[in-house]
Structure 1
Amino acid sequence: MRIYLPTTLPALAAALAAGRVEGDDGTPLRAYAATAALRGLVGDDDEALEYEAMRAAADASLRLLAADPAAPRRRVVLAADIPDTAIDPVHDADPADPGGPDDPAAVAVRGGVPLKRVASGHVDDDAAADDIAAGRTDDHELLWFATQELPYLVE
């Protein structure tokens, strides 16, 4: 299944150094995917489903940026392909969390994600930083980066 992992540039640097994306203290990673619940809202258009899952991950990246004032103001989303057996639906998350159980794209990923499973990175253009810092994301689409380009983003 294709999942979308929200992150930040400093967290991406740590994942590149570790060779994997992992949750804090072994907790499952929060990710976003084209779930059955999302399909019930969006319909059967696969492209629309993937776009909405990525948008949800981009929104989650914005929340991660709010929690890390030192991180560059650029949303980062990693697209990865992992076995369905490594994914659990999100049922018991905090209802006050905007990416919680009310988000139909939310999933939990057990065991982390090896970088070899990452298919691409999606990052805001550097010129969008002021808007991203102000929470104005509507006019900005994430740019696509091949996996071999990811190290250059964090240098």
Structure 2
Amino acid sequence: MIGAGPAPVSEQKIEAWMRVYLPATLPALARVVTLGEFGPAPLTGYAVTPALVEWYVSGDTEELEYVALTEAARASLRMLAADRADGVEVAARRVVIAAEVPDDVVSVGAGLEERARVRLSAPVPLSKIAAVHVDDPTAAEDVEAAVAALPAADRGDDDARFTVDGAEAHELMWYATQEIPDLLD
């Protein structure tokens, strides 16, 4: 066709992407590497949502992303507890996978309890993983204590909540995607 070129800007679909933090464990991360994707969907993740922005009015994007990352790290604690309840041997290290996903696979919840929680309707390809955040092995003792304290913390025990919060005193280490195989060894 003569004169055919790119569609005018008004007709081009511009795909928007969102940084999502996905809670995981080291065995779950190993499955991502083996399968080439994080799934199956639906997946629960954490991101900078409108509710989070409204709640944390004074924060910049970096601060808001840190809040979402922290929420994902808390969810990783629960995954560790669930794996152990199922008899899976898993290292006491929180794992959060940071990924770039298209907006159209992300739905945002309306609950105030978890302002950063999102739901993904599609698996996340390994190629869309931007980085992995993992506890340093020196955090293991506090992470172990936090996992053990979760049931009491959920029942409202303030001392147990303090113990769970103690895991958050450890900053998660940042790993580039090319470092994942070394991390899993």
SS in 2 for 1:68: helix
Unpaired stretches in structure 2, ≥5 consecutive residues: 1-17, 147-165
Q: Contact (CA 8 Å) 1:122, 1:142: kept in 2 or not?
A: yes
1:39 aligns with 2:36: no
Write the mapping of 1:1-155 to structure 2, written as runs, cut at 5 A: 1-23=18-40, 27-43=41-57, 44-69=59-84, 70-90=89-109, 102-135=113-146, 136-155=166-185
| Structure-2 separation of matches of 1:150 and 1:90 | 31
1:90 deviates by 2.8
State, as a whole percentage, how many aligned pairs show the same letter: 47
State the number of aligned residues.
144
SS in 2 for 1:140: coil
| Structure-2 separation of matches of 1:102 and 1:15 | 29
| Structure-1 separation of matches of 2:142 and 2:175 | 21
What TM-score do the two structures reach when normalised by structure 1? 0.89
Structure possessing the higher relative contact order (Cα contacts under 8 Å, 6 or more residues apart): 1
Amino acid at match of 2:126: L
| Structure-2 separation of matches of 1:104 and 1:139 | 21
Amino acid at match of 2:42: P
What TM-score do the two structures reach when normalised by structure 2? 0.75
Q: Contact (CA 8 Å) 1:42, 1:48: kept in 2 or not?
A: no
Please give the per-residue CA displacement for 1:50-82, whole angstroms capped at 9, x wherever unaligned.
000000000000110111121100000010011
1:101 deviates by 6.2
Q: Contact (CA 8 Å) 1:4, 1:32: kept in 2 or not?
A: yes
1:152 deviates by 1.4
Please give the per-residue CA displacement for 1:92-116, whole angstroms capped at 9, x wherever unaligned.
xxxxxxxx76200000011110010
- What is the CA RMSD across the aligned residues, in angstroms? 1.3
Unpaired stretches in structure 1, ≥5 consecutive residues: 92-99
Amino acid at match of 2:74: D
